[in-house]
C-alpha cells in the first residue's frame, strides 16, 4: 500500500524539521517546501494527500497558495490544513472560506496535538463512520 503523502510548506526550518520527523515516524511520506512558490509547485507536481500550509511565507503568501490550489482543477481537491501563528478570527474565517479543511494556530497546539489532528483527519477521511459517530 502506498504511504499517505503530506507536503509541509513552512519557512521555520526547526518546526519543519520536527514536523517532518514526527510525521515520518507516524508512517507518512513527507515532502517539504520552505516558501510559498516552492510549496505550490510541489503540490502541483506531487498531488499529495494533504498540504500542511503556513500563511506567513516568503515569495508567496499562504493565502495566495491556498487560493491558487483551490482554483485549479488539478489541485482543487487536495486537502489543506493551515498551520500558522495568525490566530485572528478574520484570518481563520478567510482560510476556511478559501477552502482549508482545518486551521491550526501554532501557539495554541503542541506538536503532538498537531500530529494527532492530522492522524484524525485521515482516520475520518478513510473511515467516514468515525465522523458520524462524533456527531
Supply the pTM of this predicted model.
0.89
The three cell numbers locating residue 26: 507516524
* Model pLDDT for residues 47-80, shown as the tens digit of each residue: 999 999 999 999 999 999 999 999 999 999 999 9
Note the maximum CA span of the chain.
42
- Determine the distance from the C-alpha atom of residue 52 to the mean position of all C-alpha atoms in its chain, rounded to a whole number: 2
The CATH label, of 3.40.710.10, 3.40.50.300, 3.40.605.10, 3.40.50.2300, for the domain at 5-134 is: 3.40.50.2300
Q: Where are the domains of the chain?
A: 5-134
Q: Whole-number mean pLDDT of the chain? A: 89
Residues 6+ apart with CB under 8 A from 55: 61, 62, 63, 82, 84, 86, 91, 95
Whether 134 shows a pLDDT value over 90: the answer reads no
- Determine the distance from the C-alpha atom of residue 94 to the mean position of all C-alpha atoms in its chain, rounded to a whole number: 15
Amino acid at each position: 500500500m502506498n504511504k499517505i503523502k503530506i507536503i509541509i510548506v513552512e519557512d521555520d526550518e526547526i518546526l519543519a524539521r520536527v514536523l517532518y520527523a514526527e510525521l515520518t515516524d507516524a508512517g507518512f511520506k513527507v515532502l517539504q517546501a520552505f516558501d510559498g512558490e516552492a510549496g505550490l509547485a510541489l503540490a502541483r507536481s506531487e498531488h499529495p494527500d494533504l498540504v500542511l500550509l503556513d500563511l506567513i511565507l516568503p515569495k508567496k503568501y499562504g493565502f495566495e497558495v491556498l487560493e491558487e490550489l483551490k482554483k485549479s482543477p488539478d489541485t482543487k481537491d487536495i486537502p489543506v490544513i493551515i498551520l500558522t501563528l495568525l490566530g485572528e478570527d478574520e484570518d481563520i474565517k478567510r482560510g476556511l472560506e478559501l477552502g482549508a479543511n482545518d486551521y491550526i494556530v501554532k501557539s495554541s497546539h503542541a506538536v503532538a496535538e498537531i500530529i494527532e489532528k492530522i492522524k484524525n483527519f485521515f482516520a475520518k477521511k478513510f473511515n467516514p463512520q468515525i465522523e458520524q459517530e462524533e456527531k
